[in-house]
Amino acid sequence: MIAAEDVRQGKPNPEPYQVLLRTLQIAPERCLVFEDSRAGIEAATTAGCDCVGVGPNASGHPDIRGWIEDFREMTFLI
């Protein structure tokens, strides 16, 4: 988990996601982010991650890969 104390600039700056990606040693193109705010979507996509918008504040954003109202709409295949 990355908190405000771990970065100099918060969202919409991509630094929180960049720090997380470095910490986990994950390439941004292998990361799918679920965000519920426009600032979070901007931070995630600027960091190079794909992003799914969650909730009414994220719908219609031009940079998201998809949108869900809430996580009850998700189906995971294992």
CATH number at residue 56: 3.40.50.1000
Query: Which pairs from 59-64 meet CB under 8 Å and 24+ separation?
Result: none
For residue 62, tell me if it sits in a domain: yes
Tell me the average pLDDT of the chain: 92
At 38, list the tokens: 């426009």
Query: What is residue 78's predicted lDDT score, i.e. its pLDDT?
Result: 56
For residue 36, tell me if it sits in a domain: yes
Q: What is the domain count for the chain?
A: 1
In tens, the pLDDT along 55-66 reads 988 888 888 999
Q: Which domain holds residue 39?
A: 4-19+31-69
Whole-angstrom CA distances from 23 to 20, 27, 36, 42, 47 are 5, 11, 23, 20, 14
For residue 77, tell me if it sits in a domain: no
| Average pLDDT, integer, range 23-51 | 96
For residue 76, tell me if it sits in a domain: no
Query: What is residue 7's predicted lDDT score, i.e. its pLDDT?
Result: 96
Distance CA 57, CA 34 (A): 12
